[in-house]
Each structure stands twice: as structure tokens, then as C-alpha cells.
Amino acid sequence: MNNPLLTEQHLPRFGEIKPEHIEPAIDQLLAEQRQQIDNLLDSGITPTFDNFVLVMDAMSERLSRVWSPVSHANAVVNSDALRKAYNNCLSKISEFSTELGQNKKLYQAYKLVADSDEYQQLDSAARKMIDNALRDFRLSGVALKAEKKERFKEIKQELSRLTSKFEENVLDATGAWKKIITRAEDLQGLPDSALALAKQAAEQAGTEGWQLSLEMPSYFAVMTYADDRALRREVYEAYTTRASELGPHAGHWDNADIMTELLALRHEQAQLLGFDTFADYSLATKMAETPDEVVSFLQDLAQRSQPVAEKEFSELTEFAKQRDDINDFAAWDIMYYSEKLREDRYSISQEELKPYFPVSKVLSGMFAVVERLYGLHIEETEGVATWHPDVRFFRIRDEHGDLRGEFYLDLFARAHKRGGAWMDECVTRMSHAGGVDTPVAYLTCNFTPPIGDDPSLLTHNEVITLFHEFGHGLHHMLTKVEYSGVAGIRGVAWDAVELPSQFMENWCWQREALNIISGHYKTGGPIPDALYQKLYASKNFLSGMQMVRQLEFALFDFRIHREYGLETSIDIEGILNEVRSQVAVVPTPSFNRFANGFSHIFAGGYAAGYYSYKWAEVLSSDAFSKFEENGIFDRVTGKQFMASILEQGGSRDPMELFVEFRGRKPSIDALLRHSGLAA
């Protein structure tokens, strides 16, 4: 059969790929690659960068390109058949990956290249790729004895299975909860756009009234605007008990045992390799050097932000008491009264801003921002096969007209689509005999879709999310590195990978940029100056509370991975409560099971690495401060950032790249200033 996953083409054939194509494609490709590696190692030729390292790099990229559309489809158009094929192949790919990482002959071949005279003549990207490979061999257990190697392989397989199951449980638990409201008065306070979305959802489900769900546009609207406190509590409880032993689907899709198993396996994996804890193992590929350094960094930020957070929370509870006589202020009141206090203090609401952020205007404006910064031109391309009718496709050209990158854009929430927002690789830049492959990205969000005749209108927070993901996309697409192993985001230390994404968020607050990215969906008029002044004044509204919330997640993540011991086991919920007692200011109800849905660390790549968001925010704030000094659209500074950060990928140490751009090491001052915590 002509398998659309195996035919050589630049873009995946999304219109033709079916679940039944997946396993045969992966089985065939893995068999071919095993044979190729055997042939390579048995050829008797002395390994060099060209005849060995680049051949391995091309094979790795080939597997990535076949697997990428499968993995992506599993996240955005999930189905039973797709899920089954994905999970069956996940274990095979995990086994293959561990097999390569533990292949001593492969390791020795890389070592021969590293020890050769040729190594010193190679460019920094080539040397970095070899150095990373040798490091990864060690982290895959290449030096372990046979019995321990086998155990390591079993652990990797099981970790792969469990992380996938964790994510599936969250997806299923999110999708399972629906609530039909039949009386309009029960939805008092919800804006027209949220009511229209709920009405549209009910119609699509074939029922009367309004349908609420736990998908972010619906959840956010209820928690922010619903006057009915009992409804807010019900929705909050359903959301925060997802995939747990409590809540409306108690015991269904419960992730509790999976979390414990994941921690045990990660700890055992780290100890097999000679690390004390998984936190130590995690830092082997990051900028931060020791667990103490990470904890000190987080605790320092907590000390600086906690007094501000406590003051903000006190003001919020007092406001709720004065306004509505609320004496038992609870977690389901936070978003609602935060929005009411924002309106009261700044006479501004997220809803008031939405008409100025129709998706089409935000997109064209965002493209105009990067055109002014980097000289790039972005155009939509029709006729490209996608996985859903909502998905659009774009190409990026530089000022010389050269194609630099391409991306799919999937903006709207829908059933069977993973929550959140992310960027992922489809094609990574790589040079070969036929030329250089253009990098391709997937950019995925979960915004409110168009309702009736109105376009999709974004909150200012959603505009920030879009800019954030596009920053990741530019990092992937603008790379000039020609070896896929260190091109784009590959090979970038995980705690530096958020630098380009958080950096892009800054333009969402600048008047000069907002004039470009906003325009009323009916009149086209810009955000009035009075409204902009209110928006900017509210920039650091409750920023202390937001800061300690992120620090709570980061400290919890790092502590469970640092403190887990096979002998003593661990009380996950207990550590989370301990962290909350130290840094949180918002009381958490006893039924809250946040950890059971914390996909970043239990299903994503952020295990013992969630601190990266704050670590990289120091870098991004300081990088942006150079634009504050020189002008936010200063082309010279933009070109410097593109050349030093975006084009370099993982080819050099991130601190070296930062110093090249900024002229010095990063300072925390800009982050504190931008967050309103400098004092």
C-alpha cells in the first residue's frame, strides 16, 4: 500500500493519513533504520562528521518527520483508533530510542569523531551536536551493565506509556463534563459572547438552552463573569477534580497512581545513571547547575513577591466583602472578584477590550510587528492539506524574498483537542545533497471560535498567548543552523527555551505595537488612548499573586522530583500543601486536585523543569530592556536579537548567546521592574 506517512514530501499528507497507516509505517521505518545503523557500524570506514554524524542526524530527522503528524493529530483530533495506534507506536519508538542510546558501538563511533583532529576544525554547531550526542549516550545508560541497561529500557518504555495515559485521562475528564442551563437568569453576568458560545454549543449538541463545558473559553467565562456563586463553585470543583478520586466523575480517569509511578520510575532512572535524584538528572541538560541554585532562585523570587501578593489578596477579599458582603472568600471567587476589582480600579475589563482584538487584525498586526523588527514578510498559502477546516497555513520570507519558515495555525477550542497552547516541530531545518529543508511549525491555541456572523474576538490575555507561541515558532523557523540536531529549539537548554516566547509578549503592552495589532471589529478604529492608559495601568494588576502562583507550581514540581526516595515514597498532595503554606496566599479547598491535571510535569517535558518559565523570564525581560533603551521597533536591535538568539538554535551555550546580544550577563532587575515588584 502507498503509505502517506512514508512517501518523501515536504509537508505531511494530512488529508490522506489514517490510523491504519500508522503502525505499518513505524514498523517499516524502524526496521529500515536498524539495518542502516548496522550497515554503518559494520562498514569498516573510519567515522567522520560527514560519513557518520550527518548520516545519523538525517536518520533521526526522518523518523521525527514520520512521527510528527501522528503525534500532532493525536493531540488535536483525538479519536479511539488514532489513540490506539499512537500508543502502540509510542512504546516501539521509545524502545528504539533507548536501544540507540545504549549502543556501545554507536557511542564509540561518536567518540572517535570527538577525539579526532577533524573535531577541532568543525564549526561550533557541529561540535555542539557531537558533544550533545555523547552527553545523551551517558544519560541513556550506555555505560550501564547489561542487567541495568535492560531495566533502564523497561523504565523508559513505562514512562512513555504512563505520560501518554496521564494526558489521555486529563483530555477524557475534561471532555466528559457538560452542563445544560435552561434559564437565562442562571447565567447572569456572562457577556453576550460567552452566552452565544454556550448557545452554539447546545445547538451543536442538539439540546435547548446553553451548554457549559470545561474547555477553556467556557470555563474562563463562567469563573470570570458568572454572578451565580454556586455555579462558579460547581464549575471550579469539576475543573479542579479532573482525573482524580473526587468530583463529578470521581474515580474515572484517576491519575493519582500514575503520578506516584512516574515519580518512582524517574527516581530509579536517575539513580541507575548515578544521580542522587531526578532533579539532578534533569539539570544535566539545563542552564542551572545545581538543585540548590534552582531552589534559591525560586525562594528569592518568592520572598520578593510574597509581601506584594499578601497585600493584593487582602485588598481583593476586602473588596468582595464591601461589594457583596462575602465573608467566606473562596478559590472560586478569585477570578470573578479580580475582574470586578480591575473594572472598579481601572474602569477596564477583558470583555471591553475584545472588540478591538478580532483574530484577523491581531494576526496581521503580529506579522507586521515581526516585519518591523526583523524584516520578515508573512503570507497565507491556500490549498495545503490540514487536519481540520479551521487550520490555516503561512509562509515566512526574509527581506531578500528567501523562504525562511512555514507554519500551520490551529487557533480554536473544540472537542477532542488537547487544552492549552503550544508550538511543535513539523519539519526541522537541515542541509542535504538536495538543498536545505525549510523548517515548519505547528502553532496551536484554544481560543473562542467565531460565533454567528461575528469573528473570533480575543481577550488581551489571549493576544499575549498568541504572541508567546509565535515567539517559540520564530525560534524554530528562523534558525540558520543546518544540522537538525541543534537547529531551531533542538539542543537549546530547557530553561532557556522560553526566552524567545516570553520576549515576544512584551509588544502586547506597547502603544506603538497595539496600534498595529488592534482595531475594532466593526469600525476598524484603534484602541482609544483613554482605554490604552487603563490597560497599561492594569499591567501589573495582582502581579504579586500571579508570581507566587507560578512559584507554587515550580517549587512543587522541583521538590517532588528532588525529595522522592524509593525507600520513603512521597506524599504528593502533602508536599503541594506544604509549598502552598510557604508561598501561596489564596486558600485552596481540600477537594482541589490540581496535581492530577498538571500535564506540564506529568505528561510534558517540564518534569523538574517548571522553574524554567521564571528562569527564562529573567532572560526575556532583560533582553527586552535593550529595546526599551533603543526603541521597541529599532531594526538594528531586532537584527541583533535575530542573529544572536533566533538564528543560533542550540548551536551554542545560551548564556554565551545572551551575553553576545546584551553585552553582559542577565540581571533580575528588569523582571522585577516589569512585574511591578522592583520596590
Residues labelled as active-site residues: 469
Q: How many residues does the chain have?
A: 679
In angstroms, rounded to a whole number, what is the distance separating the alpha carbons of residues 618 and 547? 13
In angstroms, rounded to a whole number, what is the distance separating the alpha carbons of residues 614 and 671? 9
Q: Count Cβ atoms below 10 Å from residue 325 Cβ, excluding itself.
A: 7
Query: Residue 522: which of 355, 312, 327 has the closest Cα?
Result: 355
Question: Within 254-349, where are the H helices?
Answer: 256-272, 278-283, 291-324, 334-346
Helix (H) or strand (E) holding 440: strand 440-447
**Burial environment of residue 578 by CB neighbours within 10 A (0 to 12, 13 to 18, 19 or more):** middle
CB 399 within 8 A of CB 375: yes
How are beta strands 392-397 and 435-437 bridged, if at all? Answer: unpaired
Distances (CA, A) of 237 to 174, 177, 418, 622: 12, 11, 20, 39
In angstroms, rounded to a whole number, what is the distance separating the alpha carbons of residues 382 and 403? 16
500-513 b/e with 16+ CB inside 10 Å = b? bbbbbbbbbbbeeb
> In which residue are the cell numbers 482605554 written?
531
- The dihedral built from the CA positions of residue 287, 293, 294 and 298, taken in this order, carries a sign that is negative
In angstroms, rounded to a whole number, what is the distance separating the alpha carbons of residues 306 and 311? 9
In angstroms, rounded to a whole number, what is the distance separating the alpha carbons of residues 412 and 450? 9
Q: Where are the beta strands (DSSP E) in 189-257?
A: 210-213
How are beta strands 403-412 and 440-447 bridged, if at all? Answer: parallel
In angstroms, rounded to a whole number, what is the distance separating the alpha carbons of residues 311 and 255? 35
Residues contacting 233, CB < 8 A, separation 6+: 330, 332
Q: Count Cβ atoms below 10 Å from residue 161 Cβ, excluding itself.
A: 16
Contacts 24+ apart (CB under 8 A), 304-308: 304/672, 304/677, 305/543, 305/544, 305/547, 305/548, 305/551, 305/675, 305/677, 306/544, 306/548, 306/583, 306/585, 307/544, 308/543, 308/544, 308/547, 308/676, 308/677
In angstroms, rounded to a whole number, what is the distance separating the alpha carbons of residues 57 and 32? 15
The C-alpha angle 71, 72, 77, rounded to 5 degrees, equals 110
Q: Distance between terminal CA atoms of the chain?
A: 67
Query: Residue 556: which of 588, 511, 532 has the closest Cα?
Result: 588
Q: What is the CA radius of gyration of the chain?
A: 25
Query: What nine digits make up the cell of 456?
Result: 473570533
Q: Phi/psi at 670 (nearest 5 deg)?
A: -65, -40
How are beta strands 422-427 and 435-437 bridged, if at all? Answer: unpaired
Q: Phi/psi at 475 (nearest 5 deg)?
A: -60, -40
Contacts 24+ apart (CB under 8 A), 665-673: 666/618, 666/619, 666/622, 667/618, 667/622, 668/618, 669/622, 670/618, 670/621, 670/622, 670/624, 670/625, 671/617, 671/618, 671/621, 671/622, 672/304, 673/621
